[in-house]
Amino acid sequence: MQAPALISLKFFELFNGLVSYGKEADMAKKKKSFPNLFKRLFKVKKKNRKSFTLTLILILAIFLFLSYGLYSRMTIIDTQPPKSRQDDREVAVLYFINNIGEDARSIAQENDLYASVMIAQAILESNHGTSKLGSEPNYNLFGIKGNYKGNSASFQTWEDDGKGNTYKINAAFRKYPSYKESLEDYADILSKNLYADARKSNTTNYQEATQALTGRYATDTSYNAKLNRLIKLYHLTDYDQPINPYKPGQVYNVYRMAYTDIQTLKSDNNWAKGQLTN
């Protein structure tokens, strides 16, 4: 039996005992007092017994209501999927990270890069895969212009004439068949000497890599701070580790920010997908 129910039962038994005692006393019309313990606690006079009984009923009702409410809340919290108290945007970000995380991990390891930085940039540049350029059918996560194997998509963008004056133009952006090709193309771009300071072999941590990208990959002076915040918030450094560094058969589960079996990850991902389609 659950603790709240057990406590409620004990109080109910005590209450019945008190009410029965009151009825017997009225029927017998005997001047009996409560046992010494209750006499000391309550000091109830006979003429006030009815009021006392009503008070006990009210107290018991409140206690039962609060006990049931607490138990129900505990049950909901324990059985609900992870992160279900987060808003829709939070769930969407986690769903996006799960979709690209393992590809980013393997591609980054092959190219001397930080997967955490790669994922953070993808979140920031594509609004976690929800921008027109970053979502299906374009899959351009990093806003890279030009064409990919002859495929491109045209979007309006702001340009600067070098004198501080901005204007709109239609520009061609690379169009990819999936997120994986977008990640691979990004890694190829960062292999150029311009971004050498962002590589793992030339840095001691991801903060140095994000600093190296600021002013080069993006002109935003707070670019590194934005990336660092995302990396810390979503524990993205876990993707900088070798694939499955713990127990065999386990994968990194971004929804729980821990390693779980593949079935748990699939279940959590299906839950997140359901949240986003409702």
Q: At what angle do helices 115-126 and 223-233 cross, to 10 degrees?
A: 110
DSSP state of 273: H
3 pLDDT band, cuts 50/70/90, is very low
* Per-residue pLDDT at 258: 78
E-assigned strand segments in the chain: 152-160, 166-174, 250-253, 258-261
* Per-residue pLDDT at 77: 34
Which amino acid, one-letter code, is at 133?
Answer: L
pLDDT tens for 67-84 read 655 544 433 333 344 444
Residue 216 pLDDT exceeds 80 = yes
Angle at 9 between CA 8 and CA 10, to 5 degrees: 90
CA dist 12 and 5 (Å) reads 10
Q: Where are the domains of the chain?
A: 3-79, 88-143+179-277
16 pLDDT band, cuts 50/70/90, is low
Residue 126 pLDDT exceeds 90 = yes
The class (CATH top level) of 88-143+179-277 is: mainly alpha
Q: What string of DSSP letters covers 44-95?
A: --GGGHHHHHHHHHHHHHHHHHHHHHHHHHHHHHHHSPTTTTS-HHHHHHHH
Average pLDDT for residues 113-136, to the nearest whole number? 96
- In order of 21, 112, 183, 235, the CA distances from 170 in angstroms are 89, 34, 24, 37
